[in-house]
Amino acid sequence: MNLLFIADPLATFKTYKDSTYAMLVEAARRGHGLNAMLAGDLAWRDGKIIGAVRSVELTGGDPWFAEGATVWRDLADFDAVIMRTDPPFDQAYLYATWLLEMAERQGARVFNRPQSLRDYNEKLAIARFPQFIAPTLVSNDAALIREFLAQHGDIVVKPLNAMGGSGIFRLRPGDANLGAILETVTRNGAETIMAQRYLPEIKDGDKRILIIDGEAVPFCLARIPAEGETRGNLAAGGTGVARPLGARDWEIARALGPTLKDAGLLLVGLDVIGDSLTEVNVTSPTCFQEITQQTGFDVAAMFVDALERQVSGEG
């Protein structure tokens, strides 16, 4: 296969933990062609969706990659286009999904499906699966959020378009900074946010469950908060501990897997705290390397297997 990865600049990758890097290594091991570009380098010209593409070779040294000259290529020329640009899901990301959807209509095979990248907001998507979620409110109204806090006594609030634990606050009644926090996170009512009942099981980890082509990786990565922290995200200082999926984890994964696959979501990262689904991550799910290093289960191989099935028409 000749693969095109739309990702952040390769020079910024932390190769010891980057999941896109793990995908590249496994694809190269199998002899697939590698190419890369930035989402901002998509263009619509003469009715075609093209990109400023560079071929990529893995060197095994430092730097870890070598790139060819930039060439404008039709996205339909590649066997698969893998969209791995990190959030935030901002206006530029939205434009990229529209252009990628146009490329699909011209024959490109894009993973994850651009329409589903838009439809599955990583926070709001949990509303599709209400049987698995904790009490949740989505609003920009400070009064409603205060009512929700009074009802549940301990909540977290978070933006709808961020990643890595950015912008998450834990709120309790009597917090002297409550008003200021609500003004900040809602931008004085201009920004809609999510509030969820605080889940004390976070102390045991915010579990990342990977779903590949509708099937669960049998191990999750429990991201355990640092001392004094509410957030388990690795970017917020959490520690990742790989564990086998528990009974509830399997229940959630098996219930959601077919729906996610039907939506054209080849790779999804479910976030589960205790027994509750808290997020459905579709933009650039991570934790491949941490799970593989700690368990020996080759997540990247499972992903490339699924990609090969999809391209061959067997998926």
- Supply 112's token pair: 């994850």
Query: Residue 137: phi, psi to the nearest 5?
Result: -130, 140
Q: Which string of DSSP letters, residue by residue, matches 207-236? A: EEEEEETTEE-SEEEEEEPPTT-S---GGG
Question: Distance (Å, rounded) from C-alpha 87 to C-alpha 85?
Answer: 7
The answer to whether 223 is a known catalytic residue is: yes
C-alpha angle 200-282-270 in degrees, rounded to nearest 5: 30
* Residue of 54, 113, 208, 261 with catalytic role: 208
- For 107: left if phi > 0, alpha if psi spans -120 to 50, otherwise beta; the answer is left
Catalytic member of 158, 197, 207, 261: 158
**Is 207 marked active-site?**
no
Instruction: Classify residue 180 as left (phi > 0), alpha (psi -120 to 50) or beta.
Output: alpha
Inter-axis angle of helices 19-29 and 288-295, nearest 10: 70
> Is 45 an annotated catalytic residue?
no
Q: Which residue's structure tokens are 């929700």?
A: 148
Catalytic entry in 122, 249, 271, 290? 271
Active site residue 261: no
Which pair of tokens denotes residue 2? Answer: 């000749």
Among residues 123, 197, 207, 261, the one annotated as catalytic is: 123
Strand pairing category for 33-37 and 65-67: unpaired
Q: Cβ(89)–Cβ(121) under 8 Å?
A: yes
Surface-to-core class of residue 130, CB atoms within 10 Å of its CB (0-12 exposed, 13-18 middle, 19+ buried)? exposed
C-alpha 156/C-alpha 166 separation (Å) is: 12
| Catalytic status, residue 229 | no
Q: Name the residue among 128, 127, 83 with its Cα closest to residue 137.
A: 127
Catalytic residue list contains 79: no
For residue 231, indicate whether it is catalytic: yes
> Catalytic residue at 271?
yes
Q: Which of 35, 121, 233, 281 is catalytic?
A: 281
Identified catalytic residue from 223, 233, 261, 290 = 223
Of 213, 231, 249, 290, the catalytic one is: 231
The two three-digit tokens of residue 266, written as one number: 């080849």
Residue 30 · residue 80 · CB < 8 Å: no
Q: How far apart are CA 72 and CA 40, in angstroms?
A: 13
Active site residues: 123, 158, 208, 223, 231, 271, 279, 281
